[in-house]
Structure 1
Amino acid sequence: MQQLTFKPKAFLFDLNGTMINDMEYHTMAWHSIMNDDLGADLSYDSVKKEMYGKNHEVLERVFGKDKFSAEEIERLSIDKEKRYQAGYFPHLALIDGLDHFLERAKQANILMAIGSAAIPFNIDFVVDGLNIRHYLDAIVSADDVKISKPDAETFIKASQLLNINPKDCVVFEDAPKGVESAGHAGMKCIVLTTTHTIEEFDDYPNVLDFITDYNAPILNTLF
């Protein structure tokens, strides 16, 4: 891990597994679609490994690029998101301590953005459901980029919207592919250990630290 040697001017947050602890519900929704609807006979762990990128990329990794038409992909994606939202809604909540962290950052004039592979339908579900839109200065969704994580585009675009140099941003992520994306963008990263083990991040030199929630003392050094 690296030492924090600067005071960041912006915080960039992944959404799922980073601001909310919901990845289990995404995996369950995809597991249902792939097995019950599409007859794939995949284990839960096999589906979990594919939980990154845009919905069409998930389907293409599992079933191949020519399996579904654009219309079928759109229908499956919408169905998946409806199942996810129905399952997660009773549990919708920010990760512990994040509400105070967002307020503290706002008071410190640190800009904040979401950089996520989620579609606007899901981002709005979270942001408006938890009433946190007023903390955010920009949102980059799956619809705003050509290439999703681990490409750098998501976080580069977020920094551009904030008019902040990438080196002055700290990214919060929960997934190796997201940390890789931040690294490609030239950004340091703090990892939430909600969905992956610390050992899965051994190959990423841009990791500053690992936290279980936003009450971690290390976060005090960011201000």
Structure 2
Amino acid sequence: MSLRPRGVVFDLDGTLVSNMALHAEAFRVFVERHGLPPLDAGLRGRLDGKRNTDIFPILFARTLSSEEQRRFADEKQSVYRELSRGRLRPLPGLERLLAALERREIPVVVATSAPTENVPHTLSELGLEGRLTRVVQSDSVPRGKPYPDVFLAAAALIGVAPEQCLAFEDAPAGIRAARAARMTCVAVTTSFSLAQFEAHDARPDAAVADFEAFLAGPGAWLQAD
């Protein structure tokens, strides 16, 4: 395990920003519109961190056509963007962490299951659209999280071996994907407790509440002279 990486990979939703409650609200609106069962904690654990192409067949408990997939995804994401507009803030400590990584010339990349339209929306709302310019989306790789594909592609994009990367994730599927990619991984507990991660067979190398906690603990070396 190395918490002194040559590259850093960030998940987006729930990691750079604590916005999973807004996604949950968007899904609540969606399932009510379609008369689907409400989302409980167990179902959330199966969905968080996954691609829409994996999520909607689970919600509807059937195979969906590509047209249905597109229509349902567009509907849900439109609700999310409307709910989140003007309400997103970076997770505490993110600015300090990014500045420390920049000083040490450690490259960063975002590896996310977020749909294409949501990525620029979220980064813009956070004021990071000109700063986090390297992004790999799960839809661009063969398999989504918990498979390692998106993390392997992210490491390749910044030219760093996966085992020399540190990944930040908030969801069990993401932690499992990062570990499968042989990355050191830190769980950000905005959405799940450490016990919940372990219950989903997701075992991070460290867990922190936010990036302030990371910089005060396992990442303190980043601010040393």
Q: Same fold (TM over 0.5)?
A: yes
Give 1:179's aligned residue.
175
- The unaligned stretches of length 5 or more in structure 2 are none
Aligned Cα root-mean-square deviation (Å): 1.8
**In 1, distance between residues paired with 2:4 and 2:123?**
26
Q: How far apart are residue 6 of structure 1 and its match?
A: 5.7
* 2:149 counterpart residue number: 153
1:37 partner amino acid: R
Alignment partner of 1:104 out of 100, 114, 119: 100
* Fraction of identical pairs, as percent: 25
Q: Please give the TM-score of this superposition, normalised by the length of structure 2.
A: 0.89
Displacement of 1:134: 3.7
Alignment match of 2:209 (pick from 207, 212, 218): 212
Q: Which amino acid aligns with 1:220?
A: A
1:48 maps to 2:41: no
Q: Contact 2:56 / 2:72 at 8 angstroms: preserved in 1?
A: no
Residue ranges of structure 1 left out of the alignment (5+ in a row): none
**Which has the higher mean CA deviation after the structures are superposed, 41-50 or 86-95?**
41-50
Q: Does 1:163 align with 2:181?
A: no
Residue among 57, 82, 94 paired with 1:86: 82
Correspondence 1:193 to 2:189? yes
Query: Does the CA-based 8 Å contact 2:48-2:171 persist in structure 1?
Result: no
- Correspondence 1:27 to 2:24: yes
CA shift, 1:136, in A, is 2.8
Q: CA deviation at 1:62?
A: 2.3
Q: Measure the CA separation in 2 of the matches of 1:5 and 1:81.
A: 36
What is the aligned length? 217
Q: 1:24 and 1:175, CA in 2 relative to 1: closer, same or farther beyond 3 A?
A: same
Q: C-alpha displacement at 1:98, in angstroms?
A: 0.4
Deviations 1:191-222 (A, max 9, x none): 111000111233445x2211111112122135
Q: Per the alignment, do residues 99 and 212 of structure 1 end up closer, same or farther by CA in structure 2, a change over 3 Å counting?
A: same
How far residue 10 of structure 1 moved from its aligned partner, in angstroms, is 0.8
Residue 89 of structure 1: how far off its partner (Å)? 1.8
1:114 to 2:110 alignment:
yes
C-alpha change, 1:193 and 1:146, in structure 2 (3 Å) is same
TM-score computed with the length of structure 1 as normaliser? 0.90
